[in-house]
């Protein structure tokens, strides 16, 4: 959602350098979050009892979510 807000802000209000940078950061963060989520989905779809979520993956998912929330807050303010 933050990536969409960043893109909308960058395109709607002209193309200032900071808008482009925030948009790019949001897109990279979103792709990182999708990578972590895709890895977890593949592990869950493998069958059998789902393995425990590794602390590294959980930390990455939380870090991406918090960073995206911060980007969204920066775009709104």
Q: Tokens 């960058």, residue?
A: 10
- Write the CA distances from 51 to 12, 40, 63, integer angstroms: 44, 9, 21
pLDDT over threshold 90, residue 51:
no
Averaged over 42-50, what is the pLDDT?
A: 86
Question: For the chain, how many structural domains are there in total?
Answer: 1
Using an 8 Å Cβ cutoff, are 61 and 29 in contact?
no
Tell me how far apart the 2 most distant CA atoms of the chain are, in Å.
51
What is the pTM assigned to this prediction? 0.71
Task: Name the residue range of residue 11's domain.
Answer: 2-76
29: CB partners within 8 A, 6+ apart: 2, 3, 64, 67, 68, 71
């Amino acid at each position: 959602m933050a990536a969409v807000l960043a893109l909308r802000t960058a395109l709607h209000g002209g193309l200032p350098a900071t808008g482009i940078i925030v948009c790019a950061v949001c897109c990279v963060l979103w792709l990182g979050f999708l990578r972590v989520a895709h890895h977890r989905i593949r592990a869950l779809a493998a069958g059998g009892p789902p393995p425990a979520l590794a602390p590294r993956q959980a930390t990455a998912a939380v870090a991406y979510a918090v960073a995206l929330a911060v980007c969204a807050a920066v775009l709104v303010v």
